[in-house]
Amino acid sequence: MISAEDALAAIHAHARVLGAEPIPLGRSVDRVLAADVFAATALPPFDNSAMDGFALRAADLKDATPQAPVELTVLETVRAGQTGLLCVGPGEAVRIMTGAPLPRGADSVVMVELTEPGAGGKVRLAGSTRARSHVRARGEDVREGSLLLEKGALLRPCDIALLAAQGITEVPAVRLPRVAVLATGDELIDYRDEPAAGRIRNSNGPALLAALSRWGLPAENLGIAPDEPAALRETLADALARADVLVVTGGVSVGDFDCTKAVFAGLGLREIFWKVAIKPGKPLYFGALEAPDGACKLAFGLPGNPIAALVCLEEFVRPALETLQGHAPKHPSYHLSGTADNDYPKPADRLQYLFCRARPSPGGYALDVIRPQGSAMLGMASRANALALAPAGVDRVRAGDVLRFRWLK
């Protein structure tokens, strides 16, 4: 048994950022840039007004005061999207809207709220202004040719805005890992079918696919395979040709018919670890296959017990998927802490993920540790809203202990 920490380190050591693919900008949010992107144009692309008001020459208002206002002749109105026809000379102004190009000759904008209509269509100004005031200068935000976004950047909506403003329609992104999901077990039937005696519905498949789809990952559903090495091998060999990551549930324990690990080995996967000091999820298997092109395919053998499978998916598979996509791994993240309401015995040699009901309490959160809990207890997990860490090295959680937890979403 290796520790959860060592297991995660081994996973990160084998997960390599995948290659690049071009992505239309409109579908690139949350993707990672596979190359630096440089500015094709300056932003703003031209000097323009930051206010609705009047474009004028600051020198004309040098002596303007409430006692001695200055009146300027208004030449025309420039709307956003238009360019003015006229050049602003001494004693002149142009009525201008936010975003409209600054007319030639003008060097400043005074907001409309600080002006009054003057005689004969003129505009009256009762104060001075500085040159460049309320002018958004060409290139003040982004210089042409400058580095816009660095390779490795996670594209957020504000980055999409930046790229769109540049007219960039496609970006080089790290491609998404292709994941294949297979449930193994002679007892399993599709959840839409009626089980005969002794059979149960495959709940792992739908749960794992739901999690992957929520993480935005394309997953291939390989369905159900029996505990037969030949059949399992055929399904997995075929999937391995296409997938970057195989996620198989069941058959990784020490049962007489458990054959997942042997089949992985037969496909050339090297066992990196098997058995992690965690509860639930102890039989977790992780293997890797170095491909000739330098890529590294990954295989996870998750325990068949549904709650163990889901915990392992979140705690160990998800970090691998993040690394493959070029994300700085942010899971698992237990950044909240809460105080246990009750005692709960646990194996001292393992880290336990405890299903809890967390609720706000004065000064933080209180954690009601659900009793009993087990790796096959689906109803129990659905009653929980939080997963808390009970560290290895202690044989029980005691009421009053402070535990780190995360929401179960």
Interface with ligand AMP (CB under 6 A): 183, 185, 187-188, 200, 202-205, 249-251, 253, 255, 303-306, 376
Position of tokens 């001292």? 348
- Partner interacting with residue 188 (select from Mg ion, ligand AMP, none; CB below 5-8 Å by kind): ligand AMP
- Partner interacting with residue 49 (select from ligand AMP, Mg ion, none; CB below 5-8 Å by kind): none
Size (the chain), residues: 409
CB of 370 to ligand AMP, least distance (A): 20
3-state SS assignment for residue 12 = helix
- Tell me the C-alpha distance between 215 and 223, whole Å: 20
- Tell me the C-alpha distance between 301 and 40, whole Å: 47
Taking the least distance from each CB to ligand AMP, the nearer of 112 and 376 is 376
Give me the 177-196 binding string for Mg ion, x by CB under 5 A, dash otherwise: --------x-----------
- Partner interacting with residue 303 (select from ligand AMP, Mg ion, none; CB below 5-8 Å by kind): ligand AMP
> CA neighbours within 13 Å on the CB side: how many for 227?
15
- Partner interacting with residue 221 (select from ligand AMP, Mg ion, none; CB below 5-8 Å by kind): none
CB of 180 to ligand AMP, least distance (A): 15
- Partner interacting with residue 323 (select from Mg ion, ligand AMP, none; CB below 5-8 Å by kind): none
Cβ atoms of 218 and 251 closer than 8 Å: no
Q: Which residue is nearest to ligand AMP (CB)?
A: 304
CB of 317 to Mg ion, least distance (A): 19
By CB atoms closer than 10 A (0-12, 13-18, 19+), residue 348 is exposed
CB of 186 to ligand AMP, least distance (A): 9
- Partner interacting with residue 166 (select from Mg ion, ligand AMP, none; CB below 5-8 Å by kind): none
Positive or negative: CA dihedral 397, 398, 403, 406: positive
Residue 288 β-bridge partners: 270, 298
Binding window for Mg ion (CB under 5 A); candidates: 20-28, 40-48, 242-250, 319-327: 242-250
CB of 6 to ligand AMP, least distance (A): 22
Question: Which residues lie closer than 8 Å to 52 by C-beta, 6 or more apart?
Answer: 96, 97, 98, 111, 112
CB of 277 to ligand AMP, least distance (A): 18
Question: How many binding residues for Mg ion (CB under 5 A)?
Answer: 4
Of 68, 81, 64, residue with least CA distance to 93: 64
- Tell me the C-alpha distance between 353 and 348, whole Å: 13
Helices (H) and strands (E) in the chain, counts: 8, 28
- Tell me the C-alpha distance between 310 and 293, whole Å: 31
> Within 74-133, which residues bind Mg ion (CB under 5 A)?
none
- Partner interacting with residue 253 (select from Mg ion, ligand AMP, none; CB below 5-8 Å by kind): ligand AMP
SS3 per residue for 309-354: HHHHHHHHHHHHHHHHCCCCCCCCCCCEEEEECCCEECCCCCEEEE
Taking the least distance from each CB to ligand AMP, the nearer of 166 and 249 is 249
Taking the least distance from each CB to ligand AMP, the nearer of 195 and 364 is 195
Taking the least distance from each CB to Mg ion, the nearer of 303 and 319 is 303
CB of 222 to ligand AMP, least distance (A): 12
CB of 213 to ligand AMP, least distance (A): 17
Query: Is 283 a binder of Mg ion (CB under 5 A)?
Result: no
Taking the least distance from each CB to Mg ion, the nearer of 265 and 291 is 265
Among 250, 303, 326, 338, indicate the residue that binds Mg ion (CB under 5 A). Answer: 250
3-state SS assignment for residue 379 = helix
In one-letter notation, the amino acid at residue 77 is T
Cβ atoms of 314 and 290 closer than 8 Å: no
CB of 205 to ligand AMP, least distance (A): 6
Which H or E run includes 160?
A: helix 157-165
Residue 245 β-bridge partners: 179, 298
Taking the least distance from each CB to Mg ion, the nearer of 289 and 378 is 378
Taking the least distance from each CB to ligand AMP, the nearer of 177 and 251 is 251
- Tell me the C-alpha distance between 93 and 58, whole Å: 10
- Partner interacting with residue 263 (select from ligand AMP, Mg ion, none; CB below 5-8 Å by kind): none
- Tell me the C-alpha distance between 279 and 275, whole Å: 11
Residues that bind Mg ion (CB under 5 A): 185, 250-251, 304
